[in-house]
Chains A and B, each alone.
Chain A
Amino acid sequence: MRRRLKSMTLGLLAGTLALSLAACGTAKNTDNEGGQTSGGSSKVTLELAISKSSQDSPFIADWLIEEFEQETGIKINLQLIPAEQSTTVLQTKLAVDEVPDLIQYNLASAVTDLNLERNFEILDNEPWVSRIQNPDVLSAFGHIYGFHVSQDTGMQGVVYNKDIFEELGLSIPKNYEEFLAVCEAIKAAGYTPVFMPYKDAWAANIWPAAAFADWAAKNDPTLFDDLNSNKKQWTDIPAFEEILEQQYQIYKLGYTNADVLADSYDMAVGKFLSKEVAMMFMGDWLIQNITSQDPSMNIGLFAIPYAEDPSIGASPLGGQLFIPKKSKHIEEAKKYLEFIASPEIAQRIVDAESYVSNLSDVTTPEQPEYKQEIIDNYITPEKVTLTMDAHMIVDQNEWYRNLQDQFTGMITPKEALANWNEKFQELMKDKGAEGF
């Protein structure tokens, strides 16, 4: 009997302790909440959500956040999300109304992944908008949603080792036959002409995305609109099949690494640094990654040579700041954008990152050689086309997987397009797009 009493008392004590701790915890939380919303005496803290892979973004630089706090008293708290989870975490936060005040994301992906139109503030009337030189890179559906001080979107094409080209006396190929000849010469010299890391399925879409877009711009300007409204099918365009076959032929002719489906993108920089490969279908961010590890390397970029005189592919501008509609501190978040857009601050950022400025009163600093070449050869003569990615409003992962399937040799380009067409219809219908 006594033992029973003892154990019951102990149990009761433990229970009360646990309960009081829990109550304490919640009491503290509500205290904080009260402090924040009471405004006045306590400071506002903005929550900025960003993927860990973007932690070098100038928008979250320590000096920027400190100076902003000094000037306005508004603190910024960073929510760093692991890269592979960033999309799902942000989707969840937006769905449960636990929204951050600022999000750094990629505009084109935000349209589909984060439901841009429904969840984000339109910024058309902000004071800095009038000074933006290229509003298209920040806009979707006719309104400005994002903010960036750079108009330099990632350019996509063939990243190439200039030293190897010089060594072998090669010039930039202007069409497909010239490209194959260049590959042959490079292979004969003992290098691997093209590195294809297609275990990462998205890498297989660099050649097609740029080539499709360039072909469409020159032969059928309304093509993507037609595809998106079901007026045309992906299988209706013979040129697409040819383009896919071209990329596959490069592999079949032995001009690539042996294990295209087992090699991954993270091997790319190493392959260039060890002078194993001469070229890769990728964006100019890769050049930055290579030269930051070995500044003596001379790397350049030329447009995907699927046909005569191609334009360079431009990806939609990434790393923009967005403001969710349901943020509790929209005015303060907008203040942060204004602060960054101020001529002095913007100039500092543009200079530090060598951006091509998007603000009329912020000058573009001297660009690294490869960048200047791109500007001279493609941007200035207006030979830039937005790649296919910019026109897609559905998830493209299945398309990438079809490209992989094509490389296993299991399906033809025609079948790849047919499979994607089927999936595309499904995805568009799920989205409720008109015409499906």
Chain B
Amino acid sequence: MHKSKSMYPYYLVLPALLVYFIFFAFPALIGFYYSFTDWRLDRTTIQFIGWANFERIFSDKILLLAIKNTLIFAVVTVIGKNVLGLLLALGLNMKLKTRNLLRAIYFTPSILSILVISIVFTPILRTEGMLNGLFEWLGFESLAQAWLTNPSIVIWTISAVAIWQGAGFQMTIYLAGLQGISKEYYEAAKIDGASGWRSFWNITLPLLLPALNINLMLTLIGGLKVFSEVYVLTGGGPGNASQVVGTIILRAFGEGNWGLGTAVNTLLFVCVAIIAVPLIIFMRRKEVAE
């Protein structure tokens, strides 16, 4: 216990920090500045307009719909991916013969390109597609919906597809976490007469907190930043029914309204920071040190 924890002098981190600052932090800061201007495609000068862009965001019903859709998507996918991922991990941590094969199968969707997923799911989800066809064949015609074209359910459909794709990835992280839990705890619990549920609640979950932390963070931030899933499945449609913040930013830039697009982006950044940072701190405190 004779030296400080770090073996390397701090200044060695400067080059990386410099690159990070120039290519990430600095543009982000400039972006904050542009959020308060009327930066546009067809203007050569820009003017400071204060909060005007943000006022516009909160008074435009489509932008508000986009925020609502983004929140729905984020909450649904966080719950769905994590619950499904955890269940899969618990199941595939048991001694099964085909365990490794199953793990590979469940993981595969998360490495597929989102374009492939959209091409695969579009014929399945069409009104005359395979899913509705299945319901009809089983006799549950009333369950058949216009999955991708009914404005009230389209964002839920997209969330479901995203959960299908992403759960496998969360599963692998949970698996890693599960395998880090020493068997001794379970044995001790068994000796004390603990039921399966108790040992899950009191041993597995607390020791899984680091993995839970990571997964929660990834899924939450990914959910709030969603773009590709919505863009390839519906393009934000029909009409504007499935617009999310990511696609709205694209729309704003497409209209030449770069200041507004940057403002929406800034808003997204602030929201993610407000939600994610306290969560990280909270979860950190609860992590049990090994």
Contact = CB atoms under 8 A, between A and B. Distances in A.
Contacts of B253: 88
A407 B238 contact: yes
A259 B127 contact: yes
Interface SS of chain B: helix, strand, loop or mixed? loop
A118 B237 CA distance: 33
Contact of B149 (A259, A394, A397, A431): A259
21 contacts: A87-B254, A88-B254, A113-B256, A115-B42, A118-B42, A201-B235, A261-B148, A261-B237, A262-B149, A394-B255, A395-B256, A398-B255, A404-B237, A404-B239, A405-B239, A408-B151, A408-B238, A408-B241, A410-B151, A410-B239, A430-B256
Interface of B: 40-42, 44, 122, 125-128, 146, 148-151, 235-241, 251, 253-257
A93 B227 CA distance: 25
B42 A431 contact: yes
A148 interface: no
A262 B235 CA distance: 11
A14 interface: no
Interface residues of A, number: 28
A431 B238 CA distance: 27
A401 interface: yes
Q: Output the residue of B146, B254, B255 with the most chain A CB within 10 A.
A: B255
Contact of A262 (B148, B236, B240, B256): B148
B254 A395 contact: yes
Nearest to B40: A430
B42 A405 contact: no
B265 to A, nearest CB: 15
A86 B238 CA distance: 24
B68 to A, nearest CB: 16
A88 B151 CA distance: 29
Contacts of A199: 235, 237-238
Interface of A: 87-88, 91, 95, 112-113, 115, 118, 199, 201, 258-259, 261-262, 394-395, 397-398, 401-402, 404-405, 407-408, 410, 427, 430-431
B128 A258 contact: yes
Contacts of B148: 261-262
A398 B257 CA distance: 14
Contacts of B256: 112-113, 395, 430
Given A259-B127, A398-B255, 4 more contacts: A199-B237, A199-B238, A397-B255, A430-B255
B145 to A, nearest CB: 12
A122 B229 CA distance: 43
A404 B127 contact: no
A428 to B, nearest CB: 12
B215 to A, nearest CB: 33
A394 B241 CA distance: 22
A402 B237 contact: no
A46 B241 CA distance: 45
Nearest to B123: A262
